[in-house]
Structures are given as structure tokens and as C-alpha cells.
């Protein structure tokens, strides 16, 4: 696991956008695994800027998002479909037919989950997966539990996750209780993983990711077994690590 520490959120976002852009330059028809949440918003802004300055062309890229709330339609402003349109897809040239996000409004959840994993496999797997991390060390919506889930599946969201995400909704009651998420197995199959974290609230989860026992109770700890994972952190998220754990940018 490689760890890069940046001085602040802006630098973290810049570094992350550069990594995505290098991947696209090396392989224009690459498959990107994308994440939602507050953390990657800065990276998406930089990618949009790069696109506007003609420094990146996403016309051949395929994307798969990590997760979606169950029960929200695509045009619901709190859905991750809406988030991705708003922060990235409305502003760049990814072809709509190459954008994939689990359908949270599906009538058959099992089929939707199986279909999603099949689509990823058919696209030859994910070249680089972007991850955020929950305060409880979840990745995607893989919450702490007693076993790792392999494939895309439905999860019951932790109270702490619903409370953390309530800031995007009018009330806590409106935050969905379930979501569809790629499993940790699906995530681990990605050829490269880039996890972003910013702020002191993430410091404990980051420490456990790097130094904790690998356990489904700390879902992100499974990344210790992945051969090509990079953590890009700001100083606050890295504050419980020791200087010898990382490289400073």
C-alpha cells in the first residue's frame, strides 16, 4: 500500500485528478470505478477543468460507480445518479451509454446486482477504482460486519452512515436505510485502487486501514491484501500515521 500525504484538500484533489488523467492518457478506453460523497468532489472539479482546457478526453472511457441508495429514482437530487451528472457527467464527454451506476429503483434487486457484476466483467474489469472511506471505515457501502461480501449486493446502512449522510437530506428520516453497493470482492478485483481521505474525522479509519488487523469489521483493512493500492490523504486524515508510513508531496 502506497501512501501519499498532501498539505490540504485542494492538493489531494489535484493529485487524484492527475492520476485519473494519467490512466486515461495511457489507456483511453480504460474502465474507471467512481465514488460519490464529499471527498471526490474536488477531484471531479479538477477533471472538469482539465476537460475544458482540452487536457483530457473521456470519450472512450467506461465508468462504474460504487453504489446507489435503494428506492431513489435517478432524478432524485439525493441519488448518486444525480450527484454524478451534477459533478462530472454533465460537464465532460463520457458517452452516456458507457456510464454505469446501480439502479436504486429496480424491481428486482438480485438481478440488478448480478447484472452489475456481469457488466463489469464483460468490460474486462476496472482499471482504477476511486474510493472514499466512511468514518466507520466502510468502502463503497460495505459497512462493518462479520464477513466480507464478494459481489454487488444490498446493504442495510449503519446508523452512523445515515447520520453522516443526513447533511445532504432535509431530515435524517429521509436518508434511505438500504443501498446497492459493489462488494469488497468486486472492489478488490480492480487493477488499481486509489482511496482518498480528507479531514480529522477520517484519521482513525485511515490508521486502521493501514495498521489494523484485516477484518470485515474494518472493511477498508482488506486493501492491505490488494497489490496496487494508493491512499491519497490530506494532513489531517494522515494525522495518526507516523512519518515513516508515507511520502509527503
Among 42, 102, 134, 176, binds ligand PGA (CB under 6 A): 134
Q: Is 163 a catalytic residue?
A: no
Among candidate residues 55, 112, 63, 117, the one with its CA nearest the CA of residue 87: 63
Q: Which is nearer to ligand PGA, 105 or 135 (CB)?
A: 135
Distance of CA 199 to the CA centre of its chain: 16
229's enclosing H/E stretch is strand 229-234
Among 102, 104, 132, 176, binds ligand PGA (CB under 6 A): 132
Q: Report CA dihedral (59, 21, 123, 155) to the nearest 10 degrees.
A: -110
Contact 115, 90 (CB under 8 A): no
Contact string 78-117 vs ligand PGA (x = CB under 6 A): ----------------------------------------
Min dist CB 68 to ligand PGA, Å, is 13
> Which range binds ligand PGA by CB under 6 A, 32-40, 143-151, 177-185, 229-237?
32-40
> Which range binds ligand PGA by CB under 6 A, 102-110, 132-140, 152-160, 214-222?
132-140
Q: Which is nearer to ligand PGA, 113 or 196 (CB)?
A: 196
- State the Cα–Cα distance between residues 210 and 214, nearest whole angstrom: 9
How many beta carbons lie within 10 A of that of residue 229, not counting itself?
22
Q: Which residue of the chain is nearest ligand PGA when measured via CB? A: 37
Which of the residues 68, 112, 143, 235 is marked catalytic?
A: 143
Min dist CB 57 to ligand PGA, Å, is 27
Among 31, 133, 157, 233, binds ligand PGA (CB under 6 A): 133
Q: Which is nearer to ligand PGA, 33 or 37 (CB)?
A: 37
Which of the residues 81, 100, 138, 153 is marked catalytic?
A: 138
176 is an interface residue for ligand PGA by CB under 6 A: no
- State the Cα–Cα distance between residues 222 and 214, nearest whole angstrom: 6
> Which range binds ligand PGA by CB under 6 A, 86-94, 103-111, 128-136, 179-187?
128-136
Among candidate residues 182, 189, 158, 168, the one with its CA nearest the CA of residue 77: 168
The set of residues, in sequence order, having a beta carbon less than 8 Å from that of 211 and lying 6+ positions away, is: none
- Alpha-carbon separation of residue 207 from 38, 95, 99, 190, 224 (angstroms): 20, 38, 33, 22, 12
Distance of CA 174 to the CA centre of its chain: 22
Catalytic residues: 67, 136, 138, 143
Binding site for ligand PGA (CB under 6 A): 37-39, 132-134
Amino acid at each position: 500500500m502506497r501512501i501519499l500525504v498532501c498539505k490540504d484538500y485542494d492538493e489531494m484533489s489535484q493529485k487524484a485528478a492527475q492520476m485519473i488523467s494519467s490512466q486515461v492518457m495511457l489507456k483511453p478506453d480504460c474502465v474507471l470505478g467512481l465514488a460519490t460523497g464529499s471527498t471526490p468532489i474536488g477531484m471531479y472539479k479538477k477533471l472538469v477543468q482539465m476537460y475544458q482546457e482540452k487536457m483530457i478526453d473521456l470519450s472512450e472511457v467506461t465508468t462504474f460507480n460504487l453504489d446507489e441508495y435503494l428506492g431513489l429514482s435517478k432524478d432524485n437530487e439525493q441519488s448518486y445518479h444525480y450527484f454524478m451528472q451534477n459533478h462530472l457527467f454533465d460537464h465532460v464527454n463520457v458517452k452516456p451509454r458507457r456510464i454505469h451506476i446501480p439502479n436504486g429503483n429496480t424491481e428486482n434487486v438480485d438481478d440488478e446486482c448480478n447484472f452489475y457484476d456481469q457488466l463489469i466483467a464483460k468490460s474486462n474489469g476496472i482499471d482504477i477504482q476511486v474510493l472514499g472511506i466512511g468514518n466507520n471505515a466502510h468502502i463503497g457501502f460495505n459497512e462493518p460486519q462479520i464477513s466480507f461480501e464478494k459481489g454487488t449486493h444490498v446493504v442495510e446502512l449503519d446508523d452512523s452512515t445515515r447520520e453522516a449522510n443526513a447533511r445532504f437530506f432535509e431530515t435524517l428520516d429521509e436518508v434511505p436505510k438500504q443501498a446497492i453497493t459493489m462488494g469488497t470482492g468486486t472492489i478488490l478485483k480492480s487493477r488499481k485502487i486509489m482511496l482518498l481521505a480528507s479531514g480529522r474525522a477520517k484519521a482513525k479509519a485511515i490508521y486502521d486501514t493501514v495498521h489494523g488487523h484485516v477484518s470485515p469489521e474494518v472493511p477498508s483493512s482488506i486493501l492491505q491484501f490488494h497489490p496496487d493500492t494508493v491512499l491519497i490523504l490530506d494532513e489531517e486524515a494522515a494525522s495518526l500515521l507516523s512519518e515513516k508510513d508515507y511520502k509527503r508531496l
